[in-house]
Chains A and B, each alone.
Chain A
Amino acid sequence: MNIDHEMLVGFAKSYGLFYLLGLSILVLVYSFWPSNKKPFDHAAKSIIEDEDRPWK
């Protein structure tokens, strides 16, 4: 199969666009999913506390 310039451009302009749109939606859904809020807040706070030693 010959991969030429037109084909690459066509691919980038179609699938490339939708892949980025899809990815953006997935990221936003993940970030704002209500039940994710708790682990996020926990993660943000947990680094402030003193970590004196490993857990195991």
Chain B
Amino acid sequence: MVGQLTVNERKLAFIILVLITIFGMVMVITGADSLFMIHGLIFFLSGVGGIFLVISGFFLPPPDADTIHHYYDDPTRAGIILAMVWAVFAMFIGDWVAWLLAYPELTFDAAWASFGRLRPVHTTGIIFGFGGNALIATSFHVVQRTCRARMPDNLSPWIVIFGYNLFCLLAVSGYFLGITQSKEYAEPEWYADIWLVIVWSIYFLLYLRVLARRKEPHIYVANWYYMAFILVVAILHIVNNLAIPISLVHVKSYSAFAGVQDAMTQWWYGHNAVAFFLTAGFLGMLYYFLPKRAGRPIYSYRMSIVGFWGITFFYMWVGSHHLHYTALPTWVQTLGMTFSAMLLIPSWIAAGNALLTLNGAWHKVRDDATLRFMMVAAVFYGLSTFEGSFMAIRPVNALSHYTDWTIGHVHAGALGWVALITFGAIYALVPWLWKQKSMYSPKLVEVHFWLALSGTLIYVFAMWNSGIIQGLMWRTYNESGTLAYSFVQSMVEMHPYYIARAIGGLFFLTGAIVGCYNIWMTARSARLLMTKAEFETPDLGIASGQDIRAGE
């Protein structure tokens, strides 16, 4: 890895890592609370680890002049592996949390293992650890291929991958320790937030620099979605995390917003995280990998553009549907509700576009589990966006809000759409990147597919049942006008569904572990087959979609 950096880039990497190390050291020395010092230690150790890595390769011969004629794929490979590691870790935590809801004694009387700490570990690990790394890795691949341009330098992609994972590590370790600013999906404290702004700006600039080197005047639509993801996530992150720390040496900070403004800012952020992190970026993935794998251009390119602007401009306004029946002015609630309903149009444009692209390639969907991952992802995208628009309608929300229906809806999106499209993209990418004809075992891809699909269905059906029963029990009155059921009674009714949900999650986790093994073995056989020199040449003989025969 260091061998591929030019001598100047090695020096620059060294300087950056020294600065990170010093920064960590200052945090440890000046830290006024032990939590702050622990996070300083994480900065320090990451810096030191990086320095050792750079020194170990510092005197290697500089990279071949020929490398600039190849795409730079090593950061993509690293991102895919990191995404899979985060997937297994965060799905394990998620399934633990699921069992914990059925059997509360599974906290083992440890503070770090309480529901309130494990739950953000699960959500952050999946959304940012798994999803974020997958988005960064695939975006590096897609932007280089669609622009026919190499990365402008070799260091920036590594800074993005390293810095981003350092942020995820700070976030997750912080929750275990009890560090949180109590904003859902934005729990990390101020110093971690600032760190992410720096890393994310480098990512944004890197993306623009690749686009600036492109061959075609027109930018392929997948890049628009990736760009929207990068740019809007930056805006959301900065605004929602505006806060004043109680001092520069404490973890604690106070938000710039209060009361209903705080709630509205948080859900403007929260729902746009769904829109631009979990939708726009993954649609970018879909618009590249699905046509590529199916060997057919996207059904309607025009519709992909109309859908893009629809999604970017409608999503911005829907956050207030999280605050129905609250102190938020009713007209703002209605605005969010209306835009949520309108959002169904661009969402179904994307889902329909994906499925119509497969018309004429259904035999490939039948035979190729990788393409089937993407197809089922598009179906779940269509289903969960319909469900989302429906649940945003105020009277429906009266039944669904605060119940497990919401959890079911989120997981229809997260498991069925986000995770399945990611696995599809990864199974398409791994053989290309490691120069193999196919995955190590196409049968295991098939196994993963069925585990993931059955896990998702078990999960979603359990939560639909559970949520609607919950909602109905909470609103049933008896003849004297008081509530017919106590809260505890509704919890007793949930118990079987919680067990079913945890089993569904276990299926999904098992599938991800199978996937890790398969990816590992594919990478390993690539190393065994190729001589070292050939392996380091990034892009000889990339298998195109058509080269992969049915059944492989």
- Residues of chain A whose beta carbon lies under 8 Å from any beta carbon of chain B: 5, 9, 12, 20, 23-24, 27-28, 30-32, 37, 39-56
Contact = CB atoms under 8 A, between A and B. Distances in A.
A43 B150 contact: no
A51 B220 CA distance: 14
B218 A42 contact: yes
Given A23-B313, A31-B306, A44-B291, A50 B542 contact: yes
A40 B310 CA distance: 18
28 contacts: A5-B329, A9-B331, A27-B309, A27-B310, A30-B305, A31-B302, A32-B302, A40-B218, A40-B301, A40-B302, A43-B221, A46-B216, A47-B145, A47-B146, A47-B222, A47-B297, A48-B296, A51-B542, A52-B539, A52-B540, A52-B542, A53-B69, A53-B70, A53-B539, A54-B70, A54-B144, A56-B213, A56-B215
A41 B218 CA distance: 11
Contacts, number: 84
Nearest to A12: B335
B215 A48 contact: no
Interface residues of B, number: 41
A12 B331 CA distance: 11
3 pairs of A and B residues whose beta carbons are closest in the complex = A44-B297, A40-B301, A27-B309
A19 to B, nearest CB: 9
Given A42-B218, A44-B298, A54-B71, A31 B305 contact: yes
Contacts of A50: 542, 544
A37 B300 CA distance: 11
B288 A47 contact: yes
B331 to A, nearest CB: 7
B292 interface: yes
A27 B312 CA distance: 12
Contacts of A31: 302-303, 305-306
A55 B149 contact: yes
B259 interface: no
